[in-house]
């Protein structure tokens, strides 16, 4: 699938036409909580956060500092079904991943501290035993985890905070895609996924957290609290398998 610009003027016979070519609504009905949803496929996008080696893969940064990354495998498995289903149904797929500058020139000290609280030199930009730089653009650690594949037409956004919106072009991209509804997935559900979801909700997007395709290395109650707060304060949650089934019914 190739992403077609949705927010463009046309020029014909010497005249500029400011009207956008607005595709007709395509209802997507899906079981969700706290209530079933009908979304518009033409105004929706799948935003996948931080499915990167440094978080998800043995030998990556989290694993190297002693974090059990095995709970994240379920998100990889679910996304192997969800991402192709979204593409087939014509829903844009946006990969939002840490991709820091090598010189860390735009990285605030508070963010750097969170990833290396003891100042041991094991945080963002640090060199791993395999030579990779932690969460640094073009490094192995920042690359998409094995089992998930970017395809032509997918959109990549590098981020430098927990949220995918700060200091990135994500909002401009979503605006030009002409979307209103974001289905959010990835890791960690209670950290970067949730921060991105909150910012999206606060600037006016409809937000749906995809359970199963989101996971965390935090205690289980953190994921449960994220689901609760999403439904209570910001939007909705949907099971990944239910979303895949709904998308399959709408495949072009």
Instruction: Flag whether pLDDT at 1 surpasses 80.
Output: no
Half-sphere exposure of 161 (CA within 13 A, CB side): 15
Cβ atoms < 10 Å from Cβ of 204? 7
Query: So what's the pLDDT on residue 22?
Result: 83
- Assess if residue 17 is contained within a domain: no
Q: pLDDT tens digits, residue range 147-168?
A: 999 999 999 999 999 999 999 9
Which structural domain range is residue 80 located in? 27-249
Mean pLDDT of 5-17: 89
pLDDT at 6: 81
Flag whether 221 is in a domain. Answer: yes
Domain-located, residue 15:
no
Residues near 67 by Cβ (< 8 Å), separated by ≥ 6?
Answer: 217
User: 193 near 184, Cβ under 8 Å?
Assistant: yes
Q: Which residues are catalytic?
A: 50, 159, 192
pLDDT digits (tens, 9 = 90+) for 105-123: 999 999 999 999 988 888 9
- Tell me how far apart the alpha carbons of residues 209 and 189 are, in angstroms, rounded to a whole number: 9
Mean pLDDT of the chain: 95
CB atoms within 10 A of CB 153: 12
3-state secondary structure of 9: coil
Q: Which of 39, 37, 44 has the alpha carbon at shortest distance from 6?
A: 44
Q: Does some domain include residue 61? A: yes
Return the pLDDT at 224. 98
Domain membership flag for residue 64: yes
- The terminus-to-terminus CA distance of the chain in angstroms comes to 11
pTM above 0.85, yes or no: yes
Q: For residue 168, is it within any domain?
A: yes
Q: What is the pLDDT of residue 3?
A: 53
Domain count, the chain: 1
233 Cβ contact partners less than 8 Å away, ≥ 6 residues apart: none
Least confident of 70-79, 112-121, 242-251: 112-121
Helix axes 240-249, 73-88, angle to 10 degrees: 20
**60 lies in some domain:** yes
Position 239 confidence tier, pLDDT thresholds 50, 70, 90:
very high
2 lies in a domain? no
Query: Which of 12 and 187 is assigned the larger pLDDT?
Result: 187
CATH number of residue 56's parent domain: 3.40.50.850
pLDDT band at 2 (very low <50, low <70, confident <90, very high): very low
- Placement of tokens 């398998």 in the chain: 241
Q: What's residue 121's pLDDT?
A: 86
């Amino acid at each position: 699938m190739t992403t077609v610009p949705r927010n463009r003027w046309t020029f014909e016979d010497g005249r500029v036409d400011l009207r956008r070519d607005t595709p007709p609504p395509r209802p997507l009905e899906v079981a969700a909580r706290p209530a079933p949803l009908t979304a518009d496929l033409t105004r929706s996008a799948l935003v996948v956060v931080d499915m990167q080696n440094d978080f998800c893969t043995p030998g990556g940064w989290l694993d190297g500092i002693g974090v059990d990354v095995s709970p994240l495998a379920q998100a990889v498995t679910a996304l192997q079904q969800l991402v192709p289903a979204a593409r087939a149904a014509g829903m844009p797929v946006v990969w939002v991943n840490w991709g820091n500058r090598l010189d860390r020139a735009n990285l605030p000290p508070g963010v750097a501290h969170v990833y290396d609280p003891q100042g041991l030199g094991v945080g963002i930009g640090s060199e791993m035993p395999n030579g990779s730089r932690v969460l640094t653009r073009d490094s192995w650690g920042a690359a998409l985890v094995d089992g998930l594949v970017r395809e032509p037409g997918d959109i990549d956004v590098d981020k430098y905070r927990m949220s995918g919106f700060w200091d990135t072009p994500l909002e401009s991209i979503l605006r030009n895609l002409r979307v209103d509804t974001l289905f959010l997935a990835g890791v960690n559900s209670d950290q970067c996924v949730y921060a991105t979801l909150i910012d999206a909700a606060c600037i006016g997007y409809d937000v749906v957290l995809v359970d199963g395709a989101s996971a965390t290395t935090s205690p289980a109650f953190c994921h449960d609290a994220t689901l609760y707060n999403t439904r209570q304060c910001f939007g909705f949650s949907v099971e990944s398998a239910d979303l895949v089934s709904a998308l399959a019914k709408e495949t072009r």
